[in-house]
Amino acid sequence: MKPNFKPTDVVKTITELTQKGLKVVDQATLGTNWNDVVAPLDEFEFELGQYTSVNSHLNSVLFSEEFNAEYEKPLPLITNFILKLAPIKPYIKLIKILKRLI
């Protein structure tokens, strides 16, 4: 019997995760130490990566047009999330914070 790996709420979950990620980055820019700056970013990156890598793996292993269509739906959300992080000012601030910590 084949397991039931149906994609459900993929877009909703990625939307929620990317919104959470923006909040994590905003909060990290206010940090003054490793635990306030790097740890939350690392934890979020792990959470997002864990979710997206499972979807990617399942898409590869259980490829079907239906699954692939669901797999592709959140890709623009992930791209837009990364593009929202592209402005350099928050990263410059984070780099300065990290530099003080070293």
Predicted confidence at residue 46, as pLDDT, reads 92
Question: Residue 7's pLDDT is what?
Answer: 65
- Cα separation, 82 vs 39, in Å, equals 19
Q: Which residues contact 40 (CB under 8 A, 6 or more apart)?
A: 24, 27, 28, 31
pLDDT tens string, the chain, 102 residues long: the values are 555 566 677 888 899 999 999 999 889 888 877 888 888 988 998 999 988 888 888 888 878 888 888 889 999 999 988 888 776 566 677 777 777 776
**pTM attached to this predicted model:** 0.74
